[in-house]
Structure 1
Amino acid sequence: MAKVKITQVKSSIGSTKRQKATLAALGLKKLNVPVEHEATPQIVGMVNKLRHLISVEEVK
């Protein structure tokens, strides 16, 4: 399965509680600190909900 590197690039101030909870579930705590996850359907769904706050890169 492919891995993805997810980085929060925009602040969560003004986001809904649900979006903040999704950021926490992905392990994103601070801006510009990347985390790596397997590209499972659950992770891809979370990324799609937060695409305005994060950047995603595929890791080989």
Structure 2
Amino acid sequence: MDPSEIVDLAEDAVQAWSEILAAKGGRTHSELSDLVRQTVSGHGILPTQVRERLTRDSVTTV
């Protein structure tokens, strides 16, 4: 795995949380949950997405 892939992952996380914090005002608990889920998913940082990103290349292909 190239270190730049880790940097990309971290930058996606920062961007997602910045968007969430900017849009959180005046939302209900349910709306906030939806906002977080959609934003995190959209940036590819749900746990399953992170695993896929980190294991894209198998050890045998490196």
The TM-score by the shorter chain falls in which range?
A: under 0.3
Relative to its length, the structure with more strand (as a share) is 1
Relative to its length, the structure with more helix (as a share) is 2
> TM (normalized to structure 1)?
0.28
* Greater RCO, CA 8 A, separation 6+: 1
